[in-house]
Homo-oligomer: A and B are copies of this chain.
């Protein structure tokens, strides 16, 4: 078996497509944003990526149907004549080993490159370690031209964040993308790092949709954010109401991790 097995679902010619990547990671921000975008603009399946660097796992639906874990590429044709089409890459996992990350990302970029992709936007969360009321969108890019362009959309290029660089798919898609001649931007929504964070996902999607000239309704994402708020508040209240200073409730992160 090859390291990565690509199942092509549809074959369509695409016009200068822009790739948007959002996989699981900090606060699940990138995946939440990519999945939401995919749903709202009605993206259609193009290809599925199975890989040896994923866990040997199938998901089982409520009906009892299995599905092998994967990454998935979807597309949307631009409604405007002459407009650029869109590719969205999401999925269940990033590669579980460094070697797997490189291999998988390279194969996915190669596939998109052959579809004509020259520009990439990667979506991620940036863990601040404390609650973030109004998440800023931090950026990193492959060229000063893109840095300047993103600043006009309110993206913050901070001298110190991210200090040690970016680890994982969102950075690697840009780093390896350059070897394919692609330019790109990583949009990072600030988040605590403790919860799944739809509000942070909304922040980066608001920038991205402006950049791409898309119109998306954020009501469902906001509803999800409020649901997380309520749960977080209940956890907070439970802690506060305790008479003695006991330990914090066990693993709120995990409890909430399954919501959203």
Contact = CB atoms under 8 A, between A and B. Distances in A.
Contacts of A59: 164-165
Given A66-B166, A141-B65, A179-B50, A57 B5 contact: no
Copies in the complex: 4
A159 B65 CA distance: 11
A233 interface: no
Contact of A1 (B103, B140, B162): B103
A79 interface: no
A99 B53 CA distance: 6
Given A50-B179, A56-B98, A66-B140, 11 more contacts: A52-B99, A53-B99, A54-B98, A56-B167, A56-B169, A60-B165, A65-B143, A66-B175, A66-B186, A97-B99, A99-B100
Interface of A: 1, 5, 7, 50, 52-60, 62-69, 95-103, 105-107, 139-144, 147, 157, 159, 162, 164-169, 171-172, 174-176, 178-179, 186
